[in-house]
Structure 1
Amino acid sequence: MKKNPNPNGKIKGQPNAVDVYIGKQIRTARTFKGMSQGELGRLMGLTFQQIQKYEQGANRVSGARIVDLCRVLDEVPDYFLSDIPKEVMEQSPGYITFKENVEPINIEKPDFNRRETMELVKAYYNLPFHVRHSMLLTIKAAGKTQAEVA
């Protein structure tokens, strides 16, 4: 027998797929910064257990916590909230479907096991925030332009 979803978009006993995705983003940003869960928790005034729950998607991350995470991890909110795969959003009971005439672009997922990918990501995170943010906006704009040409 299937368990009924509750109002916060979770099936009883299972985390919401979007919360799990955001948790993975938190874990990735923390790992690239070389921080432990305990260190991140200390900087945010939380326990490592709370960070662990966020990273597993067991606890939902509020908007205020996202702002705190951005400050501590030197990220922008888009890092945690944009580019959520459609398959993940569709697993969330609160998902609002795309308009019929909008088809998301299917982008191949990066292989983080490749040395080249890790070197690129590490080099990116060694840049000052304002340079990273400008580069990110430029790359996203270039991607949109490429999609329009295709």
Structure 2
Amino acid sequence: MKHHVDVHVGKRVRHRRWVLGMTQQKLAEKVGIKFQQIQKYETGMNRISASRLWEIADALGTTIAFFFEGLETAPGENTNASDMPADILADREALELVRSYYAIPENQRRRLFELARVLSDAA
């Protein structure tokens, strides 16, 4: 049976890998395992040992703490009253939006940010 912590850590691995545009195969090569094991980690089917998590964090250029961010809330519980999911990175559309946002030149990005803020305040 999957433990919610293993599922959460696996999702964070998948999201970090996806944000970097890295394939499961490439991550597996960097860590020295088969891509099928990465699949099992990402779904929470297999637990990631401390040493393996260290290697994965290094390969993904992040800290170990990154994988545990957002675990303070119970599974399925929202973090605020705006009906935003507790794990916003679970939404592929949100990740694509963030990627696209950072691809915009900084001066235009700031203007877009201000527009989004005005629109959300008006909603």
TM bucket (normalised to shorter chain) is: 0.5 to 0.7
Q: Does 1:46 align with 2:46?
A: no
Matched, 1:65 2:45: no
* Residue identity (%): 32
The whole-number CA distance in structure 2 between the counterparts of 1:46 and 1:20 is 19
Q: Would the aligned equivalents of 1:70 and 1:76 in 2 still touch at CA under 8 Å? A: yes
Higher helix share: 2
Amino acid aligned to 1:113: E
SS in structure 1 at match of 2:48: coil
Whole-Å separation in 1 of the counterparts to 2:99 and 2:6: 25
Match of 2:71, SS state, is coil
What root-mean-square deviation, in Å, do the aligned CA atoms of Structure 1 and Structure 2 show?
Answer: 2.5
Q: Distance in 2 between matches of 1:59 and 1:25?
A: 14
- Residues 58 and 112 from structure 1, CA distance in 2 versus in 1: closer, same or farther, beyond 3 angstroms? closer
Structure 1 partner of 2:61 = 74
Rounded to whole Å, the distance in 1 between the matches of 2:76 and 2:49 is 18
Structure 2 unaligned residues grouped into runs of 5+: 104-123
* 1:89 shift after superposition: 9.5
Taking the aligned partners of 1:89 and 1:113, their CA distance within structure 2 comes to 19
Q: What TM-score does the superposition give when structure 1 sets the normalisation length?
A: 0.54
Distance in 1 separating the partners of 2:17 and 2:52: 14
Kept in 2: contact 1:15–1:58 (CA 8 A): yes
Aligned residue type for 2:71? I
Give the length in aligned residue pairs.
95
Q: Where do 5+ consecutive residues of structure 1 fail to align?
A: 1-13, 91-104, 124-150
TM-score normalised to structure 2 length: 0.65
How far is 1:112 from its partner? 5.2
